Chain A
Amino acid sequence: MADMTQQLQEQVLQARTNGQKLNIVGGGTKSFMGRSADSEAGTLSLAEHTGIVEYHPVELVLTVRAGTPIRDIEAALAEEGQCLHFEPPRFGDASTIGGTLACNLSGPARPWSGSVRDQVLGIRLLNGKGEHMRFGGQVMKNVAGYDVSRLQAGAMGTLGAITEISMKVMPKPAATATLVEEMALEDVIDYMNRRAGEPKPITGACWVDGKVYLHLSGARSAVEATAEKWSGDVMEGGDDFWQQVRDMQHEFFAGNEAPLWRFSVDSTAPNPKVEGNWFIDWAGSQRWFRGEATLGDLEPLARTAGGQVSLFRGGDRSGEVMHSQPEALKAIQRRVKNSFDPDGIFNPGRLYSWL
């Protein structure tokens, strides 16, 4: 529970003076993501920069240091009957909230509860000049200045070190239920989208191994009535299943042999015809694929499906792992990076080889 701001700031200033690069590390549970870290660079560790700065359950607002483990945050929220309803994946006990935002990671409830960036209200950020700045705030609505806070989602630390996050939290649902039934991949995209279009308390829709799973959460009466009305069997231990999906502990994700690809696409797009194993989540918006392929092979398929593809885990991490960008967007992102980190200190090449 320490405020390490001063040490972190000094380390950045020193790195700048010495022309050194820095890899930003929290709990170290997401080191498999992005391109390989620069082995020459030093480490800027946020692991000790932990603790809840402010928590007002009545405001539904939490302010926390970026190195705080998700586990600790969820324990504090649970005491007040609240939760992180975007269901952040926990790749280990050490997974931190800062890393979750930097990698833009959200769980199965994302299409309904919003993503991690959707909950963010404000941040403090250490930029490449060693300036410790505050953006956004602790209130739900704040349109003063550019939204630098949410810009960090997915930037993988290339714009600076997030040191503090204020975010929206929500009440825990009073009741949950899971419905499961067998369904072919050809039918499930349409089915999940139709269910998502009904005004019912749905917070999860995924498909794996020939079965579709729907998660219901909300007021008890609403969950019970919907479970009664919709097809499928009520699954025993349904919440455990969703925890496994959320933390990528489901057996689909096990092992490191086959690379894991992530498609973020139009929820209604027909599934790409590629040989391999598929896991459909987010009612069709997020599709996991396991198989040997190249980014160049998969990008046209993702584009046809209205979205993008990335190499989430495994495979060759020395080349590009994120969907390629058009030149005009590359130029803008390079200039944005330069505006935060003119000497290119933070996480060099982690997101793209050219950033």
Chain B
Amino acid sequence: MNTKPKASKAQLAEQFRSFIDPEYVITDDETLKPYECDGLAMYREMPMLVVLPETVEQVQRVMRICHENDVPVVARGAGTGLCAGAMPHKEGVVLSLAKFNRIIKIDPLGRTARLQPGVRNLAISEEAAQYGLYYGPDPSSQIACTIGGNVAENSGGVHCLKYGLTVHNILSVEMVTAEGDLITIGSDGLDSCGMDLLALITGSEGLLGVVTEVKVKLLPKPEVAQVIMAGFDSVEKGGDAVGGIISHGIIPGGLEMMDSHAIVAADDFAQAGYPRDAKALLLCEVDGTEEEVHEHIAEAEEVFRKLGATSIRTSQSEEERALLWKGRKSAFPAVGRISPDYYCMDGTIPRRHLARVLLEMDKMSDEYGLRVANVFHAGDGNLHPLILFDANVPGEFETTEAFGSKILELCVEVGGCITGEHGVGVEKIRQMAVQFNDEELQQFHDVKAAFDPTGILNPGKGVPTLKFCQEYRSIEHKQHKHEQTDAAHG
């Protein structure tokens, strides 16, 4: 949005304080400070003010006031996002949903949960456990991240291949529009009449509305889960083994891969007994009924053996399963121990290009003089390269960003995308110009305008302006991928 706000900070604060507990209308720098960034702390901006409403009606009033006065609004959950999607706008309001933290209702028979947006992801499964149920998507930040944020980012996790993303696991959202209207999208049924607005809202990064309630589906907890750890002496073999399992007709509950840097760092940290000389490590979890797991584990071990696994270990107890996962789950902090800082990327690629992408990443690592460790949601092709750097060395973060940018462009080049689950936010807004052409980006802007005609919701995020893209492409001498494809056809 280009219009200047029509109300001053003091005027807005006064209006908000007339219906929100004044303590929760924050205007002083010291209390505003914690809101200046989300999980991607390299990007910071102080907001004009922060409000923490307690009722949906208050959220509606905040939106109406901001709409009337052209004031930008950035909705915020737990602030664990990794793309600066919740970074404040300096002339705007941060609308925190932190007080909406109630599980409204769990229906054990219908296997659903009605939630306020500030409910933590893990809290859903903890509450549902008494009924033998759980919530499928489990992003790594699940202990802190909220369901509202999950809807905004279409969050995934390690179980996506089998159990889907957020979009596959929600039934409806209640949402306040930019103009302050309260609407329900979706229903208690599995679908609704007409165009699928629920899918459109999911992953829209707070640009189309403010979610005030979510109804999710719950799944019956599998009877048994076992994990196989398999080591390989090359990345290619590890990649082939992933394909081998899937071609065999087994869909693992989780299928994760780590490269040699990540294996060593994770094993140092967790002492999980990983094969430290392996070039690639697979963790393949099979879940289901007792009979099914028994059958599939035997088959999967055989597939790995045939495809050249140098070591295979299958968990024989819940403790052993937890230990094998511990290394993978602590891979990020583990890498944090071997480097002052790390920068996590999020590109997704067709799995068949894994070896090529890792090889080229190695070359880039030499060129940029920065180490990179790879953890990989192998089942669904989502790469998380961790670039190791030191923010105290002048210029090193800029080099890291340039390196990261090259990795994302490589992902697009092999037919993948710039972000699998972390979102675009501010961080990847430049690379949008690599994945999409001007017509597509304009269509995104038009969709945004259908929900938010004056553009007050999270402005400057998600979709770049066309002018910005043209400049970016010309600097980078990029030819758009689609243009290349179309030229080839033509």
Contacts and interface: CB of A to CB of B under 8 A. Distances in A.
A322 B193 contact: yes
Interface in B198-227: 199-200, 202-204, 208, 220-223
Contact of A226 (B108, B208, B289): B289
A325 B448 CA distance: 21
Given A118-B168, A150-B167, A171-B249, A145 B440 contact: yes
B181 A328 contact: yes
A163 B448 CA distance: 23
B437 to A, nearest CB: 8
Interface in A115-156: 115, 117-118, 127, 131, 133-135, 137-148, 150-155
**Residue from the set B187, B188, B189 with the largest chain A CB neighbour count within 10 Å:** B189
Nearest to B239: A58
B264 interface: no
Nearest to A221: B291
Interface in B239-264: 243, 246-247, 249-251
Interface stretch (B19-27, B274-282, B361-369, B422-430): B422-430
B153 interface: yes
B428 A144 contact: yes
A282 interface: yes
B394 interface: no
B295 A219 contact: yes
Nearest to A118: B168
B191 interface: yes
A332 B109 contact: no
A59 interface: yes
B199 A137 contact: no
B195 A282 contact: no
Interface stretch (B88-96, B325-333, B411-419, B468-476): B411-419
A307 B189 contact: yes
Interface stretch (B230-238, B316-324, B344-352): B344-352
A3 B489 CA distance: 10
Interface in B349-375: 349-352
Nearest to B294: A221
Contacts of B187: 264-265, 306-308
Contact of B161 (A140, A148, A226, A335): A140
Interface in A303-349: 305-308, 310, 322-323, 325-326, 328-329, 332-333, 335-336, 338-340
A147 B194 contact: no
A117 B196 contact: yes
B192 A148 contact: no
A44 interface: no
A145 B189 contact: no
B220 A199 contact: yes
Contacts of B415: 137-139
B446 interface: yes
Interface in B152-200: 153-154, 156, 160-161, 164-165, 167-168, 177, 181, 183, 185, 187-197, 199-200
B217 to A, nearest CB: 9
Interface stretch (A92-100, A179-187, A188-196): A188-196
Nearest to A153: B196
A137 B195 contact: no
A197 B111 contact: yes
Given A140-B161, A145-B463, A146-B204, A264 B192 contact: yes
A197 B109 contact: yes
Given A81-B249, A138-B415, A159-B195, A266 B183 contact: no
Interface residues of A, number: 91
A111 interface: yes
Contacts of B125: none
B352 A127 contact: no
B269 interface: no
A45 B197 CA distance: 26
Contacts of B379: 140
A151 B295 contact: no
Contacts of A57: 247
B288 A114 contact: no
Contacts of A115: 190-191
Contacts of B289: 199-201, 219, 222, 225-226
Interface in B372-388: 377, 379-382
Interface of A: 3, 56-61, 81, 104, 110-111, 114-115, 117-118, 127, 131, 133-135, 137-148, 150-155, 158-159, 170-172, 174, 190, 193-194, 196-201, 218-222, 224-226, 263-269, 282, 285-286, 305-308, 310, 322-323, 325-326, 328-329, 332-333, 335-336, 338-340, 351-352
Interface of B: 107-111, 131-133, 153-154, 156, 160-161, 164-165, 167-168, 177, 181, 183, 185, 187-197, 199-200, 202-204, 208, 220-223, 243, 246-247, 249-251, 288-292, 294-296, 348-352, 377, 379-382, 415-424, 428, 432, 435-437, 439-440, 443-444, 446-451, 453, 462-463, 482, 489
21 contacts: A61-B350, A114-B168, A138-B415, A142-B417, A143-B422, A147-B200, A153-B196, A154-B195, A158-B195, A196-B220, A197-B220, A201-B288, A219-B296, A222-B288, A222-B292, A323-B193, A329-B183, A332-B451, A336-B200, A339-B449, A339-B450
Given A135-B440, A141-B348, 9 more contacts: A134-B440, A139-B349, A140-B348, A141-B165, A148-B444, A153-B191, A197-B132, A285-B189, A336-B200
